[in-house]
Amino acid sequence: VKVAVRIFFVLGASGDLAKKKTFPALFNLFRQGFLHPDEVHIFGYARTKISDDELRNRIRGYLINDKNASPEHVEKLSKFLELIKYVSGSYDSEEGFRLLDKEISEHELSKNSVEGTSRRLFYLALPPSVYPSVCKMIRNFCMNRSDLGGWTRIVVEKPFGKDLESAEQLSTQIGELFEEPQIYRIDHYLGKELVQNLLVLRFANRFFLPLWNRDNIDNVQIVFREDFGTDGRGGYFDEYGIIRDIIQNHLLQVFCLVAMEKPVSLKPEHIRDEKVKVLQSVLPIKDEEVVLGQYEGYRDDPTVPDQSNTPTFATLVLRIHNERWEGVPFVLKAGKALNSRKAEIRVQFKDVPGDIYKCKKQGRNEFVIRLQPSEAMYMKLTVKQPGLEMSTAQSELDLSYVQRYQGVTIPEAYERLILDTIRGDQQHFVRRDELKAAWEIFTPLLHRIDDGEMKPLPYQPGSRGPAEADELLAKAGYVQTHGYKKKTKTTLNPHQA
């Protein structure tokens, strides 16, 4: 039998990302039958000198816990771990990568594959500072030398640079070694279920098509909150800050999907063309439309400098100069150590013109897409309060995934995206020109923060962030619906259900 062997490399195999995200995602794909033991080999590569078994033991704990340890799970896990081999070497030594290539070639041949039809996927779970040297080593010593239809791809994680110049430099270095279709710049927000749903919602529903514009929408919020601080990652985080860690990538990707025009088709290039266009239409960010924060206690982390000016919170307004969105503020907000963990999109509509119910001011229509936790989308709308009186109230049309899709497992973002890299679908990955446009938006602001010209305001951990951020939101036009509380279906009285 001739098998097209797929080889998966996790470079930086003993690091945090590999253990917490990459290996668990690979295992889940394996469990579900997407990675077949006859077709797949997984190599970990890192500097530490450890054996295959030591690597397996290090990652085992991340793949099993008290809740999922069924005999079937345990059996699958041991089969999966058998697929993993380890090679140690440095990230800039010819020797290490030649060794890796030798090991791979043996596996390719041992599986009776047609030489050259193997597929080599390199997942760089590494600090970006070593990307250029690692890419060079792969290019020189580890390429799939085939003209028979095999391939070599690389997957890279953010941060892709620190500003426009450094990002472009990195893109050029990698671009000299690999073609764009071989490069998968991963942004795991693009793998989240409700982010993947955005284009379907917008372009497959008559409801939304005529309303999704400046005539009807007053403001849009894209919000990320975490209820923990930089826990042990202070050293990394302080170099980057919340804008580079969350806003420039995760929230901006969501922004693109909310604001872009309809693509010509669902081809990855058509979708990415539209994302680039909307990014290029974003106006320079105004200082008065930015609020930065840093939680109290952030600098107590020994890896954070005492004088750190790094924001752990930011609210800022993006404005798009085009026919659809002129005048509509897009408020992007992200913060660490806040009062809740949540990511959501809020599309708030304008007031009803000529409102005849104005004696009791009602809230506005709002369409909320909750990315996490508990995926849901709901529309806040005004209805008659049930009963004998003719009065109005805010209620909602609610599509909560736990209720509507009972028993359906929602895949992890990384699982989906890794499967895409194997299948060769770049739709949910960031293209080079998209990355450049993203950095163009934020670089002037980031430089002003780095130079200490803009300072974060202190806020209490466990709070909503600086009060000034809520003021900015109100100035941008967001109207809070006082007294409204979304009712979850789980709170229904069983006799009513």
Active-site positions?
250
Handedness of CA 269, 271, 272, 277 (dihedral sign): positive
Find the shortest distance in angstroms from Cβ 468 to ligand BG6: 23
Cα–Cα distance measured from residue 146 to residue 128, given in angstroms and rounded to the nearest whole number = 28
Cα–Cα distance measured from residue 238 to residue 302, given in angstroms and rounded to the nearest whole number = 11
Judged by CB, which is closer to ligand BG6: 138, or 337?
Answer: 337
Judged by CB, which is closer to ligand BG6: 137, or 186?
Answer: 186
Give the CA dihedral 19, 24, 27, 31, nearest 10 degrees: 160
Judged by CB, which is closer to ligand BG6: 34, or 240?
Answer: 240
Positions touching ligand BG6 (CB under 6 A) are 188, 226, 245, 343
Handedness of CA 32, 34, 38, 42 (dihedral sign): negative
Judged by CB, which is closer to ligand BG6: 20, or 299?
Answer: 20
Instruction: Answer for the pair 13, 86: CB distance below 8 angstroms, yes or no.
Output: yes
Judged by CB, which is closer to ligand BG6: 226, or 274?
Answer: 226
Find the shortest distance in angstroms from Cβ 8 to ligand BG6: 21
Q: In what order do the strands lie in the sheet with 40-46?
A: 84-88, 40-46, 6-11, 119-124, 151-157, 183-186
Judged by CB, which is closer to ligand BG6: 245, or 344?
Answer: 245
Find the shortest distance in angstroms from Cβ 240 to ligand BG6: 8
Judged by CB, which is closer to ligand BG6: 45, or 224?
Answer: 224
Cα–Cα distance measured from residue 431 to residue 272, given in angstroms and rounded to the nearest whole number = 7
C-alpha dist (Å) from residue 93 to 51, 90, 120, 141: 19, 6, 20, 10
Cα–Cα distance measured from residue 140 to residue 198, given in angstroms and rounded to the nearest whole number = 40
331 bridge partner residues: 221, 317
Handedness of CA 51, 54, 56, 59 (dihedral sign): negative
Cα–Cα distance measured from residue 17 to residue 28, given in angstroms and rounded to the nearest whole number = 16
Find the shortest distance in angstroms from Cβ 189 to ligand BG6: 7
Judged by CB, which is closer to ligand BG6: 325, or 414?
Answer: 414
Find the shortest distance in angstroms from Cβ 458 to ligand BG6: 20
Find the shortest distance in angstroms from Cβ 144 to ligand BG6: 30
Which residue of the chain is nearest ligand BG6 when measured via CB? 245
Cα–Cα distance measured from residue 119 to residue 123, given in angstroms and rounded to the nearest whole number = 13
Find the shortest distance in angstroms from Cβ 274 to ligand BG6: 24
Cα–Cα distance measured from residue 192 to residue 372, given in angstroms and rounded to the nearest whole number = 9
Place of tokens 């060079």: 136
87 phi and psi angles, rounded to 5 deg:
-130, 135
Q: Considering only CA atoms, which of 157, 124, 136 is closest in space to residue 45?
A: 124
Cα–Cα distance measured from residue 229 to residue 335, given in angstroms and rounded to the nearest whole number = 9
CA 303 to chain centre: 25
Judged by CB, which is closer to ligand BG6: 226, or 344?
Answer: 226
Cα–Cα distance measured from residue 52 to residue 72, given in angstroms and rounded to the nearest whole number = 23
Find the shortest distance in angstroms from Cβ 461 to ligand BG6: 15
* SS3 call for 50: coil
Q: Considering only CA atoms, which of 447, 214, 470 is closest in space to residue 329?
A: 214
Find the shortest distance in angstroms from Cβ 424 to ligand BG6: 24
| Tokens at 175, concatenated | 């671009």
Instruction: Answer for the pair 9, 143: CB distance below 8 angstroms, yes or no.
Output: no
2 phi and psi angles, rounded to 5 deg:
-100, 120
